Amino acid sequence: MTAHITLTRPDDWHVHLRDGEALHTVVPHTSAQFARAIVMPNLKPPVTTAAQALAYKQRILDAVPEGQQFEPLMTLYLTDQLPADEILRAHEAGVVAVKLYPAGATTNSSAGVTDIRHTHATLEAMQRVGMPLLVHGEVTDPEVDVFDREAVFIERHLMPLRRDFPELKIVLEHITTREAAQFVVQAGKHTAATLTAHHLLYNRNALFMGGLRPHYYCLPVLKREVHRQALLQAAASGSDRFFLGTDSAPHAAPLKEHASGCAGCYTALTAIELYAEAFDSVGALDKLEAFASFHGPDFYGLPRNTTQITLHRQSWTLPEQLPYGETSLKPLRGGESLAWRMA
């Protein structure tokens, strides 16, 4: 059994850091593991201008502990009204991508896109400057079963989008189904996907084991085991179109343990350890480095990191909760043991 592994320092290509006081809890977790992270723009109100993205970036940097090197990679939130001009300003300001949330699909998405056709001029500008579109791929149609919303989104919206904008870089975020993995493989070199640790480690049974377990609730929701197996296979295949994106999404514990609990799993504290466990489970630890550290920057056209991290096979128990302002934050697997530990 491998006792330790050394990797090029990874990046997180999809994370929620929130704002204000929360930054001081969550940014140090992400910056301890990752050199860079794609920061989601679903604040209240959302980040829709280059100026807002730069101000948000500075608030994140202010929360990075002394001595750590961390670069937040900023994104804009696509709305029906985001002007094409703003893409050019954002591109010049170093904003790296734009996030599409179908209106109402998930946490803080009420300002999202109501009809992709409204955004065509903006998408054209993105295609021209080479700025990736990051997609929350779920339909919001209440007639569609919650577990089918990703597969239906691909058919109804993503295939037409792929056809209409053949050169646009598209990342299908946090994929959860066999259909999504197949779509990405077949869609050509401008299409990629992020995979979360929790969708690689758990199927939907985790939500109901011994009672309703809200800390396993996220969107897109965990799926059947066949889908988890397909995702593991995609990750372990070594294909450069799949890369690490935790979708770590902190919510105060009382808002998850609630009659209408918030969607989002908090994994930033031990993200790379959870991915190591998932890759190890299919004998693919040798594929972890490229997935975590190479495929993302290669797709985005950014340099790979040059420093390293080491993980030891060492059983330890994750704290059940962490202080989070006046309340607490419960990390996924809190109070349970993990098989790997970052040195």
Rounded CA separation 167/164 (Å): 9
- In 203-255, beta strands by DSSP E: 242-244
Q: Which is nearer to Zn ion, 173 or 179 (CB)?
A: 173
Among 11, 247, 277, 280, binds ligand NCD (CB under 6 A): 247
Residues in contact with ligand NCD, shown as a per-residue x/- string from 118 to 157 under the rule CB under 6 A: ------------------x---------------------
Q: Which does 30 bind (CB under 5 to 8 A by kind): ligand NCD, Zn ion, none?
A: none
**Selection from 114, 25, 105, 33 nearest residue 305 by Cα:** 33
Rounded CA separation 113/96 (Å): 19
Among 150, 247, 277, 280, binds Zn ion (CB under 5 A): 247
Per CB under 6 A, which region of 19-27, 71-79, 102-110, 296-304 contacts ligand NCD? 102-110
Rounded CA separation 118/81 (Å): 8
Residues in contact with Zn ion, shown as a per-residue x/- string from 130 to 169 under the rule CB under 5 A: ----------------------------------------
* 16 touches ligand NCD by CB under 6 A: yes
How many residues does this entry show for the chain? Answer: 343
User: Which of helix, strand or coil describes residue 255?
Assistant: helix
**Selection from 127, 200, 129 nearest residue 170 by Cα:** 127
247 in catalytic set: yes
Per CB under 5 A, which region of 122-130, 202-210, 223-231, 239-247 contacts Zn ion? 239-247
Residue for token pair 């993200």: 271
- Closest distance between ligand NCD and the C-beta of residue 131, in Å? 19
* 246 touches ligand NCD by CB under 6 A: no
Residue for token pair 């500075």: 58
Q: Which is nearer to Zn ion, 84 or 103 (CB)?
A: 103
Among 8, 48, 52, 106, binds ligand NCD (CB under 6 A): 106
Q: What is the dihedral of CA 94, 126, 41, 11, to 10 degrees?
A: -60
Query: Which ranges of the chain would DSSP assign to H, the alpha helix?
Result: 22-33, 50-61, 84-92, 120-129, 149-153, 159-164, 178-186, 197-201, 225-236, 253-256, 271-281, 288-289, 295-300
Which one-letter DSSP state was computed for residue 98? Answer: E
Per CB under 5 A, which region of 86-94, 157-165, 226-234, 244-252 contacts Zn ion? 244-252
Per CB under 6 A, which region of 20-28, 78-86, 100-108, 298-306 contacts ligand NCD? 100-108
| List 80, 247, 286, 298, catalytic entry | 247
The encoded tokens of residue 87 equal: 């893409």
Q: Which does 106 bind (CB under 5 to 8 A by kind): Zn ion, ligand NCD, none?
A: ligand NCD
User: Which of helix, strand or coil describes residue 187?
Assistant: coil
Q: Which residues pair with 193 in a beta bridge?
A: 172, 242
Q: Which does 42 bind (CB under 5 to 8 A by kind): ligand NCD, Zn ion, none?
A: ligand NCD
Rounded CA separation 253/181 (Å): 32
> Which residues here bind ligand NCD, judged by CB under 6 A?
16, 42, 106-108, 136, 218-219, 247, 249, 263-264
> Which residues here bind Zn ion, judged by CB under 5 A?
247
Give the residue numbers marked as catalytic: 247
